[in-house]
Amino acid sequence: MKTSLYVLCVILLCGLISPAQAQQAERTLIAVDKAFDRMAQDIGIKPAFMHYACDSLIKMNHKAKTITGKPALEAWLNTLDPQLPLRWKPVKAEISKSGDLGYTYGWWRLPSSDTTYYGNYVTIWKKLDDGQWKFVLDAGTSTPKPEGIIFE
């Protein structure tokens, strides 16, 4: 009985990351989200979203139908301006104790010809077996202009 309990404890503890590893993973996740934003600026919103999306993603847009799966995401992206000037800035990340799930939270900005729209978002990320982070859920909503947020 003691041996079984010991083995169970070892198995459970091996799946947990240390606080230092969690902090590093959170910095990595912020960097991934920033790279996602940068890719959208450099080569366009569609290639960026398709690159960072998990196959089984869920995308929730303000006042719109939920998008489920990469084919539906691609169809939705095809309706958008390829050079859509959407920008976002992650301000916080947290990682699960297992180290394979996390979220980023931040602000977005979308300028148009006569106004600029703002909002906040949350993206849930999954670390794949090959070490890449892909988003499994992305959701955002409109807000007034955030104070003190500078979009680079």
Q: Does domain 17-143 have CATH number 3.10.450.50?
A: yes
Q: What percent of the chain has pLDDT over 90?
A: 72
Mean per-residue pLDDT, 7-15:
40
pTM: 0.85
- Looking only at the bridges linking them, the beta strands covering 67-68 and 53-60 are antiparallel
| pLDDT on residue 86 | 94
To which H or E segment does residue 40 belong? helix 19-43
Q: Is the pLDDT of residue 49 over 80?
A: yes
How far is Cα 102 from Cα 10, in angstroms, rounded to an integer?
24
pLDDT at position 15: 56
Whether the Cβ atoms of residue 120 and residue 106 lie closer than 8 Å to each other: yes
First CA to last CA distance, the chain:
58
| Beta partners for residue 123, in sequence order | 104, 138
The residue assigned the tokens 């089984």 is 56
Domain ranges of the chain: 17-143
Residue 30 near residue 104, CB atoms below 8 Å: yes
> What pLDDT is recorded for position 118?
96
